[in-house]
Amino acid sequence: LNVTEEKFVVDTLAGCTEYKSILDVVVKAFYVQDGKYCPISDRNLYIVICYLATFQLEEIGLQHFSRIVKSLDTAKMQQFLRFFFNDLYLNTWIKDEWSHFYDSVYVKENWIDPLLRWQPKVQKLIEKLTDKLSNRTTTVKTLRVTQPKEFNLTVPKPRAIAPPSPAPLPELPKRQPVPPSIYKPPKERKQLEEMKMKNIQKAKVTNTNQFRCATIKPEKREFLFRINSTVLILWSQISCEQYLEVVWESVLTQYFEELTKQPQDLIDNIPIKLNTAAILREGALYQRKLEEELKRIENLQQGAGEPSEFLEWQKQMRGKDLEEQLAEIECRRLQGKLSYEEAVLAHQNVTQENKKKADLLREEKAELMHLYAEKRLQEQKEIKELVEQIMEGHKNVKQAKEKIQEYKQQIVQQVCEENEELLRQALEEKEDQNRKRYELIQQIRAMESTSGIRHKFVDLTETGGHGLFGEMSIVELRERLALLKEAQKAAEEEKRDQIIHEKQAKEQLLLDKLDQISQFRAELGRAAALKQEEKKKSQSGEKPMKDERILNLQKKIEEKTIERKKQAGLL
């Protein structure tokens, strides 16, 4: 570029950067309204044209501006200039949007009014671009069509007129024979009957073995029943602390017999691994029990009464209540079993009624199938008559199809010729556009290659000179960081020593707690053994008694079971 052209390019680039905010308002609105289908890669092109029309039109003149516009794509420039130089847009929203960045009076006097003055002249340029587009799209080169000539052939002699041959009879397509499946009963009926018989047999087997998977051994059933009933009754009558104490005692007594069968040496030598929290928790428990025992002894020394007789009486009364409640629960269980037997009998009666209804439905279904077959035969006769009528109409349609096909071939040939001419013109325009882009890229690369390389030397011992409090050089900053790291390291060593001393003290506390726990466990084991021996002696003379209600319910259940089995045999 020469000096003038280089100055023009640099000024344009600087102006587009300075007024980017107001130029973006116009370009964004263009993409939203008229330029919905324009590529986003042409955004910078529209920004440059908008800048030249707004700020440089009076300086460069309309003739130079027209040459720039005509050198670019005609359709894009015509569409953008028609949008930008619209009187309504300039006086309304463009003026309002630009007033958000600059003073409204300044915008109107320096930018809007000059654009409105240039608008009639620019409108002529837009009309020229529109005419150019219309001429380019309508001019289609017509090809010369070859005119055929007749051959000079010898005229044949006239032949004798032969009698007309009779018209050939139409050949109808072979009809498909009637499938044999129409005269056979459907397979679905047979499959449904087989599935029904299988389900009936399966239901019979299921009723006999309905609760086999839920059976429990007699000894386990009695043990679980006693424990669950005890828990439910005690939970509804006593407080939370008493409930926990009684449940724990009952569970220990139930399992103590199993534990006593094992060798005592094997029980004592079972290893128990405790963590820190378990040791502290168990030590606190034993310490609290020790304090309660000391308090109880002090109360006895001061003259307080011994509550052991009252507790024994309370225990006996609770045992009687428990036996009564267990008998009530057994009665409820037997009543449930009795209701189950009655439900099975009712189910068998319903099954017999359903069988009768199914037989009636089968008879009705057979009548409906017979009517359906007669209707299908009538419909097939009507379809045959309709097919014969359609075959007669197909003969006339073939001639019309041949004429339409010839007409379409002519239209396709004309369209192909027009498309070839349009493709050739589009290819020439694309090559011209690519050539201009290549030249512009070469110019930009030449400008980038001439930029110089700058070096800046830094002195680490000097400050930045910004005038801030506490400003220092990089060397001083590194020295201070080294001192801070040494102080941090010394603090970490001191903290580590403190943690080690605390850990040793905690380990010593845990050892003391373990010694205390072992002593308490030995004492509690001996007390539990003595208590178990006393309980065995007291329970040796007791015998279980059954309630009369339970015996009556068991008899009723046996009678219902025998009746159900007889009914099943009849079915």
Residue 433 domain-assigned?
A: no
Q: Dihedral through CA 5, CA 8, CA 9, CA 14, nearest 10?
A: 160
- CB of 74 closer than 8 Å to CB of 133: yes
Q: Which residues contact 121 (CB under 8 A, 6 or more apart)?
A: 62
- CB of 81 closer than 8 Å to CB of 122: yes
Q: Is the pLDDT of residue 214 over 70?
A: no
Alpha-carbon span 109 to 88, nearest angstrom: 17
Q: Domain residues for 102?
A: 3-137
Q: How wide is the angle at C-alpha 386 spanned by C-alphas 383 and 388, nearest 5°?
A: 115
Residue 476 domain-assigned?
A: no
Q: What is the pLDDT of residues 487-532, one digit of tens each?
A: 999 999 999 999 999 999 988 888 888 888 888 888 888 888 888 8
Q: What pLDDT score does 226 carry? A: 54
Q: What is the pLDDT of residues 259-318, one digit of tens each?
A: 454 444 444 445 566 788 888 888 888 888 888 888 888 877 777 666 667 777 888 888
Residue 66 domain-assigned?
A: yes
Residue 295 domain-assigned?
A: no
Alpha-carbon span 259 to 264, nearest angstrom: 9
Share of the chain above pLDDT 70, in %: 80
Q: 543: pLDDT confidence band, cut at 50, 70 and 90?
A: very low
Q: What is the pLDDT of residues 181-197, one digit of tens each?
A: 788 878 888 888 899 89
Residue 216 domain-assigned?
A: no
Q: Into how many domains does the chain fold?
A: 1
**Locate tokens 């030449």: which residue?**
446
Residue 487 domain-assigned?
A: no
Alpha-carbon span 560 to 340, nearest angstrom: 10
- CB of 331 closer than 8 Å to CB of 553: yes
Rounded (10°) angle between helices 57-71 and 74-84: 140
Residue 319 domain-assigned?
A: no
Q: What pLDDT score does 208 carry? A: 57
Q: Is the pLDDT of residue 360 over 70?
A: yes
Rounded (10°) angle between helices 218-237 and 308-449: 90
Q: What pLDDT score does 96 carry? A: 87
Average pLDDT in the chain:
79
Residue by residue, what is the 3-state secondary structure of 15-64? HHHHCHHHHHHHHHHHHHCCCCCCCHHHHHHHHHHHHHHHHHHHHHHHHH
Q: What is the pLDDT of residues 219-265, one digit of tens each?
A: 555 555 555 555 454 444 444 444 455 445 554 555 545 545 444 44
Residue 23 domain-assigned?
A: yes
Residue 215 has what DSSP assignment?
A: -
- Selection from 10, 77, 2, 4 nearest residue 38 by Cα: 77
Q: What pLDDT score does 542 carry? A: 47
